[in-house]
């Protein structure tokens, strides 16, 4: 089955202790999320999958930033998530060179306003393996949207994190109604 690995928001501003809005950084480190994402990228490369990394960001000058958003409304004041900024770079330990495609999304959902669905359809992808930060935001949003677009959805839980372990567990519990969970070991056998 044609498969894609989709890694979400593994950027400095969100996953690194130096990030400007990195409430999940502690959980990212404790759960070894970046190491697990790297292994998934390596498996994807070995298996000939489409490896996609998606990161949230806004154009220079924040012209496409939703100023009314509770989540993103103060990004311009904090100086986070701006194109070309150090915070929009991938986590320094992420092996981003194994990505076939990098997409910048202007909102929480990886499919909203991006070329993600077109890229998946062009490669005749039927199954997506989704992981990222935050479990409670980006992962939930992408899984729900991928489900509704009729992809078979797998969640690589070990490469996900949220601000707290409880937030992560709650997100995974809800996603269990829409997706299957997969381990790194199981990925190698797909």
Mean of pLDDT over the chain: 97
Cα–Cα distance list, 67 to 12, 52, 108, 167 (Å):
22, 28, 14, 25
Residue 12 phi, psi (nearest 5): -55, -50
Query: How many domains, in total, are found in the chain?
Result: 1
pLDDT digits 0-9 by tens, 29-65: 999 999 999 999 999 999 999 999 999 999 999 999 9
| CATH (domain of 12) | 3.40.50.850
Range of the domain at 151: 3-187
Which pLDDT belongs to residue 74? 92
Report yes or no: 81 and 112 within 8 Å, Cβ to Cβ: no
């Amino acid at each position: 089955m044609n498969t894609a690995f989709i890694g979400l928001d593994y950027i400095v501003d969100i996953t690194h202790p130096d990030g400007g809005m990195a409430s999940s950084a502690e959980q990212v480190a404790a759960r070894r999320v970046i190491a697990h994402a790297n292994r998934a990228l390596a498996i994807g490369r070995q298996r000939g999958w489409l490896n996609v990394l998606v990161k949230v960001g806004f154009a220079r000058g924040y012209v496409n930033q939703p100023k009314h958003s509770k989540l993103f409304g103060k990004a311009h004041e904090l100086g986070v998530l701006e194109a070309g900024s150090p915070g929009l770079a991938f986590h320094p330990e992420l092996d981003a060179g194994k990505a076939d495609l990098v997409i910048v999304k202007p909102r929480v959902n990886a499919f909203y306003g991006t070329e993600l669905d077109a890229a998946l359809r062009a490669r005749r992808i039927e199954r997506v393996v989704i992981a990222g930060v935050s479990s409670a935001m980006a992962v939930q949003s992408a899984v729900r949207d991928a489900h509704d677009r009729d992809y078979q959805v797998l969640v690589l839980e070990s490469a996900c994190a949220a601000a707290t372990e409880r937030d992560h567990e709650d997100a995974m519990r809800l996603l269990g109604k829409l997706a299957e969970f997969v381990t790194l070991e199981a990925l190698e056998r797909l």
